[in-house]
Structure 1
Amino acid sequence: MPEREAKVHGHHHGGSPESNKHSHSEHAEHGGHAAHSEHAERGGQSAHGGHDNHDKHAGHSPAMFRDRFWLSLVLSLPVVLTSHMIMEWFGYSLHFTGIEWVGPVLGTVIFAYGGQPFLVGAWHEIRARQPGMMLLIGMAITVAFVASWTASLELFDVEVWWELSLLIVIMLLGHWMEMRAIGQAQGALAALAELLPDEAERVTQNGETETVKIADLAVGDVVLVRPGARVPADGTIVQGAAEFDESMITGESNPVARGEGDNVIAASVAADGSVRVRVSAVGDDTALAGIQRLVAEAQESSSRSQVLADRAAALLFYVAVAAAALTVTVWALLGRADTAITQSVTVLIIACPHALGLAIPLVISISTSKSARNGILVKDRLALERTRNVDAVLFDKTGTLTKGEHAVTGIAAVDGDDDALLALAAAVESDSEHPLARAIVAAARERSLEIPQASDFRSMTGRGVQAEVDGTTVAVGGPALLRQLELSAPDELGETIEQWQGRGAAVLNVIRGGAVVGALALEDQVREESRAAIDALHRLGVKVAMITGDAQQVADAVAADIGIDEVFAEVLPEDKDKAVSDLQGRGYTVAMVGDGVNDAPALARADVGIAIGAGTDVAMESAGIVLASDDPRAVVAVKRLSAASYRKMLQNLWWAAGYNLAAIPLAAGVLAWAGFVLPMALGAVLMSLSTIVVAANAQLLRRVDLTPEHAAG
């Protein structure tokens, strides 16, 4: 035990790789920024439309569909109003010279102009030998166009110009709405890009400032960030302190205090102070560029649900063609050639998998952008889909469930004056840069204690530190220091120290004038959010395990404190993936949650790898999901988002496929014996309605609250 305590106190009190993991800021400083330029360029393209699941829209924009919709709508009004069928339905009549050519002329313009995107898309699908939605639409409007001209040339008594016009108008409206929705979802990338200021105030060698373009900044430059201004690049504060709004990166709503030596993220806002920042990353290496890359990759990554929808659309093409052929054959054999043409065209219209094609991509786009805005960066959509099935979460302890920073949790003075003992220890440690020394000084300042002046500071590697305070030599150190000085803790402190050691605390003795005058306990602080996260996971029926390189008693103390179900302790970093395999071998679907410093093998081995508290280090290739904040409750938010997204996908697929399965037989005329044959116009309206229902249902995902407080509430 004594050796363990000495190790916990780091370099000059002994070192432990697990207990001295990088702090958040150190992690951010040394973390990878492997955002490559090609990724950034690809991310920019995604932000402006275009989608791997929307090749049918290649080269198209919402504005193009909007313009074609409005012009086609205007042109279709005369076509509809001059239709004999419409006039009969509504009991009015129009007569003027050339009225019979209004439909053919304007209908041809609508077909050529409004139908052009669908015809081009259909041709691309034919060339790629991948039949799908665009081919079905193209086939439907082409058949309607040919049928309409045969009627105008009096070869058949079928008037469908008005139906063709409305079909194209409705299709354009649906695609415009779809492109708008997807564009809004992918707008998360553009919004991120717009967060960076255009210019920065660079500090010159003589201490003055000059305004330069962001692109002109280089690593090592010092920039001035005034109150209310955005940080132009990732860097470290070298002068000043301020609270920073990092919500656009981490999703954390509360400002975060940053001072000298702390890292700041590009695009975060200095709320109440002026600071000088030394630039550590620019351009594609910044956290913002990394986030853009991750969101872009998520937009482009494959999805099992999307594959299912694409297969369904291809299958629907063959079903539609077969149903249309059967419809033509049966009605022709019944001597109803006009009905055969009309209903076969209606079958093709009904079969258009517009809603089916929209069902999955829109849900994914909305969920991806919504999660990004809440600091949940989905690198791999499959990881997000799998999260809903996770029934065991394995948390790394240090830096994930705990802050990775020690704090004073116990003070025992021989004379009973705890404040005086803490002030004395802080005086000795004030010149030390060690994390435990900083924790002691911070504790004294929190109590507003007056810290005495110390001189002749000396570090004794592996044992402790000492200095002169008020003319007396004072030393602070672990058991190794006591052994060197051949001292032992007073009996009155023995029971207290044993309790501290029993729960794995680091015990530092304070020695004044050659006698032990007290002891301090320091422990890695458990995040308050960890308890809420674990409680929420338990409510969802998820087993929670913890893995750490710390001693068993340290791990057990933390586990008992926050309600962990199973503990893997004294595990070497390279063996962490074996714990994941162990849980998987017992039948669990495992999510591994770690800080990414040495958890890469375990993150890769898990069914879902979640890197938490990444800060500026967003380029972790081993994790499928990266959480920009340190809050473990975000893991619960990911699971809730996964479940909500899956529900929406299923609902949309069932609605879209169910609509087609029910409507195709009606369009073919299976109820003709009962006097009902689904008109082409009604088929087009119903198809558009199906698309609107799917789009509206997907939009409901925006209501899912991903804030950590709500997720764990």
Structure 2
Amino acid sequence: MTHNDTDHDKHRVAHEHAEHGEHAGHDHSSHVAQFRRLFWVMLVLSLPTAFFSAMFASILGYARPDFPGVDWISPVLGTIIFLWGGKPFLTGAVSELRARRPGMMLLIDMAIVVGFVASLGASVGVFDHQLDFWWELALLIVIMLLGHWIEMRSLAQTSSALDSLAALLPDEAERLVGDSVEIVSPDELAVDDLVIVRPGARVPADGMIEEGTADVDESMVTGESVPISRAPGDRVVAGTVATDTALRVRVTAIGDDTALAGIWKLVSDAQNSTSRAQRLADKAAALLFWFALSAAVITALVWVLIGQPDAAVIRTVTVLVIACPHALGLAIPLVVSIATERAARGGVLVRDRLALESMRTVDAVVFDKTGTLTRGEPALSDVSPVEGVSADDLLALAAAAESDSEHPLARAIVREAELRGVAVRRAEDFRSEPALGVTASVDGMEIRVGGPAMLRDAGVEPLTAVGPWSDEGAIVLHVVRDGQVIGALKLADDVREESEIAIKKLHFRDIRVVMMTGDAQAVADAVANQLGIDEVHAGVLPENKASTIAELQKQGRCVAMVGDGVNDAPALAQADVGLAIGAGTDVAIGSAGVILASDDPRSVLSVIDLSHATYRKMTQNLWWAAGYNLISVPLAAGVLAPIGFVLPVAVGALLMSASTVVVALNAQLLRRLDLSPESR
């Protein structure tokens, strides 16, 4: 029952996995840097562009400085802003045209191109001076760069899940060649190689044990909450840890054939398949593009037909410039930025805003058991002494014998003795026997603690009174004193008190609760009955976890998965929303769209509330931004000209900026949302 924890140096990331992760993460990070740099440079250039603009000076009513060449400051700087700051939008628009899918980029591009041509024409005297839009062009590009910078920052994420999976492989493997041992990279191993796995080290490749017996920590692959005893003839998989004794393992699979590589592929496939959702703002932008284009064509035709070609140019240009919504460019990114910032302060880290948007529609939440609904570590839950022995005496003797062991079960026994205030006596001659248990001398008595194998070795029978414990899937350890059984201890994965509250509140919201675990059926059923879970899947392998999520999705459900282990990674990536417990593995965190810094399951409710609040703000802002356009474009086109009202160019531009302010203020209201688990 010994357990030796060793700290490893950082693991080498397998080349092909790391290369994939670096490639996937590079695009987003480079976009963030690009838009951040462009925003600040263009902001600096836009200030003199606006200040020296004759149109801007007349709108605000200040006297523009008068010196030779002053009229060309705005055109020169405006041209630089258009060609440099507008380049991402120009290239983005070309991509949308090639794909025949007009969206935000094409809408922005239409406005800045028209604004540039009109302003340049006004500056050289070809067009009316009313079409001097240099200040508006600069403001539009700066605001759109800010919006895209915020958006890219909220979207930026790396393939850390894939990197972390690869990092589960050890840096080195010890390969036996004849009587000598050579240190090689796991990549150099071949099928049928014999390797040594030291205590506390990770298995470098899938294989079969040829020599040695050890408790193997397989939690990162199977989800089992306690190490599993493995002996000659048993299979072990890459990335698992031999906790107590050395093993000799014959390699049976390498590279892409390993279980770890299979999980890696599942995570990669699921991530790619869930990244194609179309954004809400793009849909609105596409509709506004056709609306603006149609309005511009109709405006030009009508004003030409009534014999006012000069007015036709002014009105058409005004329509196209005003049609590009500053507010729409900020409506979604601002809300997401504030929501994610507010979430982070509440212990919820949003890595993928699509996941945040989807959370409001979730109607099934799938929980991993170990480390999520439970604490992921065994706890002593009951003590059954024989007649003539008190519970405290039994616990004191067991804790004394286990006090020198580092095994999770030993720590649980010693911890419970401390909590109960039981005096633990000093033990001597401590011995740990893999797969059997521990033996120690306490006050001259031989005390043994272990499972069924220890009882057989001691030649004694288990207590019949503790039979129901085994039926529940609990771990049962017997205590033997001088060859006689004096009692038994019940240990089980400790269920979180908050889990029951979270599940009740999910049921109140008509959300189905499902539990998936690699643990045995009896263990899973015991937890499910205690918490009132609707559906249980036990003994589930990683690939089956992902397929179980897929089955729920085929039933028409929007599924959220909550987990914390490597074995949860494919399911987290497959789910509509993956939520990783922050204390979990890097792989689980990297596979999830949302990370819960707290291990409190009630945090799931916080994410649902945040999703609803964020969606409300998004739709409110979109309606405001789009609504402004739906009203201002017809007015700019001159629909009320017959009754003597035509929206002035300057007024339309100022109202457009005011619309942006309204959107920004509305998004700020999200900061008032309380996301603490205790408030749920």
- Same fold by TM-score greater than 0.5: yes
- Residue equivalent to 1:213: none
Q: Among 618, 643, 652, which residue is 2:612 paired with?
A: 643
2:51 is equivalent to residue 74 of structure 1: yes
Q: Deviations over 1:90-112 (max 9, x none)?
A: 9x9x9xxxx9x969964542233
- Residue equivalent to 1:481: 454
- Residue equivalent to 1:385: 357
8 Å Cα contact 1:167/1:681 also seen in 2: no
Pairwise CA distance, 1:139: 0.6
Pairwise CA distance, 1:580: 2.9
Aligned partner of 1:467: which letter? A
Aligned length: 556
Provide the C-alpha distance between the structure 2 equivalents of 1:186 and 1:610, rounded to a whole number of angstroms. 16
Aligned partner of 1:610: which letter? L
2:423 is paired with a residue whose SS is: coil
1:437-586 map, 5 Å: 437-488=410-461, 495=465, 497-586=466-555
- Residue equivalent to 1:591: 560
Q: Among 15, 26, 32, which residue is 1:50 paired with?
A: 32
Percent identity of paired positions between Structure 1 and Structure 2:
48
Q: Deviations over 1:207-230 (max 9, x none)?
A: xxxxxxxxxxxxxxxxxxxxxxxx
Provide the C-alpha distance between the structure 1 equivalents of 2:301 and 2:143, rounded to a whole number of angstroms. 31
Q: Deviations over 1:199-256 (max 9, x none)?
A: xxxxxxxxxxxxxxxxxxxxxxxxxxxxxxxxxxxxx9xxxxxxxxxxxxxxxxxxxx
- Residue equivalent to 1:167: 136
- Residue equivalent to 1:402: 374
1:587 is paired with a residue whose SS is: coil
2:324 is equivalent to residue 342 of structure 1: no
Provide the C-alpha distance between the structure 1 equivalents of 2:588 and 2:12, rounded to a whole number of angstroms. 8
2:632 is paired with a residue whose SS is: helix
8 Å Cα contact 2:344/2:350 also seen in 1: yes
Q: Among 616, 629, 637, which residue is 1:668 paired with?
A: 637
8 Å Cα contact 2:499/2:602 also seen in 1: yes
1:375/1:26 Cα in 2 relative to 1: closer, same or farther (>3 Å)? Answer: farther
1:42/1:102 Cα in 2 relative to 1: closer, same or farther (>3 Å)? Answer: farther
Q: Which TM-score applies when normalising by structure 2?
A: 0.69
1:602/1:113 Cα in 2 relative to 1: closer, same or farther (>3 Å)? Answer: closer
Q: Which TM-score applies when normalising by structure 1?
A: 0.66
Pairwise CA distance, 1:377: 4.8
Pairwise CA distance, 1:68: 2.7
Pairwise CA distance, 1:379: 4.8
Provide the C-alpha distance between the structure 2 equivalents of 1:564 and 1:629, rounded to a whole number of angstroms. 21
Provide the C-alpha distance between the structure 2 equivalents of 1:146 and 1:550, rounded to a whole number of angstroms. 73
Pairwise CA distance, 1:469: 1.4
2:274 is equivalent to residue 304 of structure 1: no
1:137/1:576 Cα in 2 relative to 1: closer, same or farther (>3 Å)? Answer: closer
Provide the C-alpha distance between the structure 2 equivalents of 1:30 and 1:631, rounded to a whole number of angstroms. 30
Pairwise CA distance, 1:517: 2.3
CA RMSD, 1 decimal: 4.4
Pairwise CA distance, 1:656: 2.1
8 Å Cα contact 1:507/1:520 also seen in 2: yes
Provide the C-alpha distance between the structure 1 equivalents of 2:547 and 2:615, rounded to a whole number of angstroms. 30
Could you list the runs of 5+ residues in structure 2 that have no partner in the other structure?
98-105, 159-200, 202-266
Provide the C-alpha distance between the structure 1 equivalents of 2:544 and 2:74, rounded to a whole number of angstroms. 66
Provide the C-alpha distance between the structure 1 equivalents of 2:44 and 2:69, rounded to a whole number of angstroms. 20
Provide the C-alpha distance between the structure 2 equivalents of 1:363 and 1:186, rounded to a whole number of angstroms. 13
- Residue equivalent to 2:218: none
Q: Deviations over 1:529-567 (max 9, x none)?
A: 322332332233211111234343332221222231222
2:591 is equivalent to residue 609 of structure 1: no
Pairwise CA distance, 1:659: 1.9
Provide the C-alpha distance between the structure 2 equivalents of 1:37 and 1:461, rounded to a whole number of angstroms. 40
Provide the C-alpha distance between the structure 2 equivalents of 1:479 and 1:336, rounded to a whole number of angstroms. 98
1:160 is paired with a residue whose SS is: helix
- Residue equivalent to 1:63: 40
Aligned partner of 2:427: which letter? A
8 Å Cα contact 1:31/1:616 also seen in 2: no
8 Å Cα contact 1:104/1:148 also seen in 2: no
Provide the C-alpha distance between the structure 2 equivalents of 1:489 and 1:675, rounded to a whole number of angstroms. 99
- Residue equivalent to 2:198: none
8 Å Cα contact 2:517/2:539 also seen in 1: yes
1:595/1:183 Cα in 2 relative to 1: closer, same or farther (>3 Å)? Answer: closer
2:119 is equivalent to residue 137 of structure 1: no
1:393 is paired with a residue whose SS is: strand
1:312/1:103 Cα in 2 relative to 1: closer, same or farther (>3 Å)? Answer: farther
Provide the C-alpha distance between the structure 1 equivalents of 2:420 and 2:495, rounded to a whole number of angstroms. 20
Provide the C-alpha distance between the structure 2 equivalents of 1:603 and 1:380, rounded to a whole number of angstroms. 13
8 Å Cα contact 2:154/2:353 also seen in 1: no
Aligned partner of 2:444: which letter? G
1:708/1:452 Cα in 2 relative to 1: closer, same or farther (>3 Å)? Answer: same
Aligned partner of 1:50: which letter? V
1:21-36 map, 5 Å: none
Provide the C-alpha distance between the structure 2 equivalents of 1:33 and 1:616, rounded to a whole number of angstroms. 18
